[in-house]
A and B are shown apart, each in its own frame.
Chain A
Amino acid sequence: MKHLPRIDSKFIVIAISVLVLLYFIVFPMLILIYDSFVVDGAINFSNYKAVYSQNVNWKALVNTVELSLLVMVASVIITFPMAWLIGRTDLPWKRTFRTILVGSYMIPPYVGAIAWVQMLNPSVGYLNDLFKYIFHLSAAPFNIYTIGGLAWVLTLFYSPFAFITISRAMEKMDPTLEEAARVAGASPLRTLWDVTLPLMAPSIVAGGLLVFIAAGSAFGIPAIVGMPGNIEVMTTRIVTFVYMGDDKGIRDATALAVSLMIIANGLLFFMSWLLSRKDYTTISGKSTRPNMVELGKFKHLAFFVVAAYAFVAVILPIGSVVMTSFIKSMSKGLEWSNFGIDPWIPVITSAQYMESIGRSLVYGVIAACIGTVLAVFVAYLSVKTNITGRSLPDLLVVLGGSTPSIVIALALIITFSGNYGLNIYSSMWILIVGYLVKYMTMSVRTVAASLSQVHISLEEAALNSGASWIRTCKDIIIPLVMPSIVAGWFLIFMPSFYELTMSNLLYGADTKTIGVLLYELQTYADTQNASVLSVIILVIVLAGNLVLNKLTKGAVSI
């Protein structure tokens, strides 16, 4: 292969990249695991025994598993029928619903949590008040600060993982497989049951597991919705222990973090094995327009149900924070005179708030720039070369991305606060390293997917025309994959910009990010400033997505 000019330079470059990735991704995790098992120089489980003998920690583990299961099952039950209705039937407004449901993925989960607390808290929740008024109830019908409330919010904000996975698989499935069942005499429902469902099973399980892992690793929603009701999960326990600040606290946190990591990474490993196991791809013919099942008399009912879900899942929470951000005084009711831009003025004029926003933007940009360069490199190595170990960097990046944020943060704290050479604790760099470890994988995937579309003959044609390898990169490869590089940049920038879980553990006195600030405002019950900031975040994320959509012509979005 003549992709890189000299064989030795290839190995130097690959070695350096592997070393960097090992140092920032694998090394901290090994330290974390080591610390959790080694007490006073001996390997044992005493740490784990001590932690789980405390009822609150054991309860947190049980809560995490129960909640994640509940959210996983609920997500699959909700999203599979919706993916089918949107992908395979004559449901009106399909495209709009798809955009809304996929788009809910870009609302930061903690913003969703803030919104639902506003709507369903038992004392002054908007929806509770509304139900009390309509049905003449004396007490609020819903209390968000319960397991049920927590599961509800987690389901709404993590089910897009399942929806995206399932509807992508449905799009990729050859529609004639279903048509063959129809001509064989099966009704649309029978076809769904006998053909669609079994063929989709691996993707359904995969989507469900993604939701399970995401819900189990979530911090923002449980912290905002669960903690006020004294419902603890693994992530909130880990944060509590780290906040204690002493060695004991950190050690307890490591045991919990390693437990969480084993569950999450184990399941992800299982998932990728499951998806690679059976080859369901068949020879695809010419692209016929898939036959759309006619819903007939159920058309209106289906439309109503999907519309209601989209309204409740996306429109309602956004509406709630936007509305709250314009209420002059929370103590007064919802009347016209009580609305105005007054709550925005202290936020916009506050140096502290604006600095946080600026800081988050800067960290996001830095992380995205470094991450994109690395991602292009890692993707090129794994897709376009055949050097031994070419996919190792890719694998390391995937490992980082699949690890729960809270675990990454804890591992970085332990490793990079001076005990092992590098000390970046409390600096912006520890935040940026965290963002890179967690989010680079999406960027690598996007660039790799696009690079693998560039057929080798395109490069060879350029080399044949007399272009050097560097010139080929510049004239052929880079222009062809540019949209994916831009997309990859945004895929690191956006989640880094509004990141909460890692930032909450890693920020220092001068590095408070917008996510952390918002979380603090919410915990101090300053719901109005929290709403204003939420709206600002939503606007920036939305703008970012529009730019991304424009640049990639809709091929990639968050």
Chain B
Amino acid sequence: MSQVSIEHVYKRFGKVTAVGDFNLQVADGEFVSLLGPSGCGKTTTLRMVAGFERTTEGKIVIGERVVNNHEDGTFVPPEKRDIGMVFQSYAVWPHMTVFENVEYPLKIKKVDKAERDKKVQNILEMVHLGEYGERYPNQLSGGQQQRVALARALVANPSLLLLDEPLSNLDAKLRESMRFEISALQKRLGITVIYVTHDQSEAMTMSDRIVVMSAGVVQQIGKPYEIYTHPANKMVADFIGLVNFLPGVIKGDRAFLEGTENSFANEKNLTGNVTIAVRPENIKMSKTGGMIKGSMKHRFYLGDSVDYRVQVGEHVIRVIIKGIQYGTYADGETVYLDFDKVMLFNRE
């Protein structure tokens, strides 16, 4: 168990900056996700923590130990970092049985055989593979291979567990159940976790904190709730959840929806042209009256909710309403919208 500190880390491949000025403190026992679209630098960051890439600039500390510091050339290779890692492809060795796979880290550590057997059996049972020790990986399903990889990463009690999109090769149902399993295991063992994913719901459900990345730059670090309700910028608002963006103008302490008299509180004290953002589920819709007048364009029935597109001037606004009948509104009907929990961002 240990904290991790990533300080002013840069990674450049030739002229391309894959990661720029990355700063993060992970507390002991914390579950932190690196979230972002593909190519945002999250995997590169994880590989630097693992020791598969050297930082171009900056310092990484795991526990008390500096594992990479470009200034004095300190670099601890992956095998000496005392970490566990689960790969997207599972990387379960096909020439070893499940037991041998999980036993391997202990063998390297020269733990004696009796102790080894006990620990391996223990962890296999923890991931519900107690009966599968003698099997070869090609006799296992993807989900089971995933658990073998997890058991192997945890068996030697590493101080830090790294997971690189571990669930992206699983089918949707299994993915959901594995989320809870990994979460439960992490709580039980109290291990520090850094988790890389491009799936926001994975990050939201499992993490204590989320690091949202884009184009190699950290956009926001915060608790899932903070990131969803108070996104730091347009990119984060857009990437996490659904959002409508509309042009706005600041006049005094109000932000006016462009071309209208409708305005919202300017809490952040922005000036000039802004973007007004509102999530589809924070819009109230009625037939009788409201702030903004529009006409119903499309309706998509989703079972538990209806996903509407409402034409307002030249903009199409997405509105999601739970538990309402599909037939409540008709196409072309005039509707009125009220925005709640509006967010304001500077316009780029």
Contact = CB atoms under 8 A, between A and B. Distances in A.
B88 to A, nearest CB: 3
Interface in B40-88: 43, 47, 50-53, 77-81, 83-85, 87-88
Contacts of A183: 50-51, 78-79, 81, 83-85, 153, 162
Interface stretch (B101-109, B124-132, B223-231): B101-109
A318 to B, nearest CB: 34
A279 B84 CA distance: 27
B309 to A, nearest CB: 31
B87 A279 contact: no
Interface centre among B52, B88, B149 (most CB of A within 10 A): B52
B317 interface: no
B108 A186 contact: yes
Interface in A125-183: 174, 176-177, 179-183
A388 interface: no
B92 interface: yes
A187 B51 CA distance: 13
A284 B162 CA distance: 18
Interface in A439-459: none
Contact of A185 (B79, B94, B138, B164): B79
Given A184-B152, A282-B137, A179 B78 contact: yes
Given A179-B52, A279-B138, A282-B137, A185 B85 contact: no
Given A179-B52, A291-B52, A184 B105 contact: yes
A177 B93 contact: yes
Interface residues of A, number: 29
A199 interface: yes
A176 B138 contact: no
Nearest to A178: B91
Given A186-B79, A283-B90, A291-B52, A180 B85 contact: yes
A275 to B, nearest CB: 14
B95 interface: yes
A283 B83 contact: no
A185 B109 contact: yes
Nearest to B138: A279
Contacts of A49: none
B52 to A, nearest CB: 4
A176 B153 CA distance: 13
A188 B137 CA distance: 23
Nearest to B84: A183
A280 interface: yes
B89 to A, nearest CB: 4
Contacts of A185: 79-80, 105, 108-109, 156
A87 B162 CA distance: 26
Interface string B120-156: 0000000000000000011000100100010011001
B95 A182 contact: no
Interface in A9-56: none
Contacts of B142: 283
B25 interface: no
A185 B50 CA distance: 12
A199 B85 contact: no
A188 B169 CA distance: 28
Contacts of B50: 179, 183
B284 to A, nearest CB: 42
Contacts of A188: 77
A176 B94 contact: no
A314 interface: no
Interface in B274-289: none
A278 to B, nearest CB: 8
B79 A174 contact: no
B92 A282 contact: yes
A180 B43 CA distance: 15
B165 interface: yes
Contact of A190 (B80, B108, B156): B108
B89 A283 contact: yes
A390 B93 CA distance: 36
A283 B109 CA distance: 28
A285 interface: yes
Contacts of A294: 77
Interface centre among B85, B95, B149 (most CB of A within 10 A): B95
A182 B47 CA distance: 12
Interface in B9-49: 38, 43, 47
A457 B14 CA distance: 40
B321 to A, nearest CB: 38
B44 to A, nearest CB: 9
B91 A180 contact: yes
B39 to A, nearest CB: 10
A181 B107 CA distance: 11
B165 A285 contact: yes
Contacts of B88: 176, 285-286
Contacts of B91: 174, 176-177, 179-180, 282
Contacts of B52: 179, 182, 291
A499 to B, nearest CB: 41
Contact of A182 (B78, B90, B153): B78
B213 to A, nearest CB: 16
A335 B93 CA distance: 60
Contacts of A370: none
B95 A180 contact: no
Nearest to B89: A285
A282 B87 contact: no
Interface in A228-243: none
Given A179-B52, A288-B47, A280 B94 contact: yes
B46 to A, nearest CB: 10
B341 to A, nearest CB: 36
Given A282-B94, A282-B137, A285-B165, A182 B77 contact: yes
A174 B109 contact: no
29 contacts: A174-B91, A176-B88, A176-B91, A177-B93, A179-B50, A180-B85, A180-B92, A181-B93, A182-B51, A182-B78, A182-B79, A183-B79, A183-B81, A184-B152, A186-B79, A186-B104, A278-B94, A279-B94, A280-B95, A282-B92, A282-B137, A283-B90, A283-B142, A285-B89, A285-B164, A285-B165, A288-B47, A291-B78, A294-B77
Given A176-B89, A280-B94, A286-B38, 9 more contacts: A182-B77, A185-B80, A186-B108, A188-B77, A282-B90, A282-B91, A288-B47, A291-B47, A291-B53
6 residue pairs, one from A and one from B, having the closest CB atoms: A285-B88, A285-B89, A185-B108, A180-B91, A184-B105, A176-B91
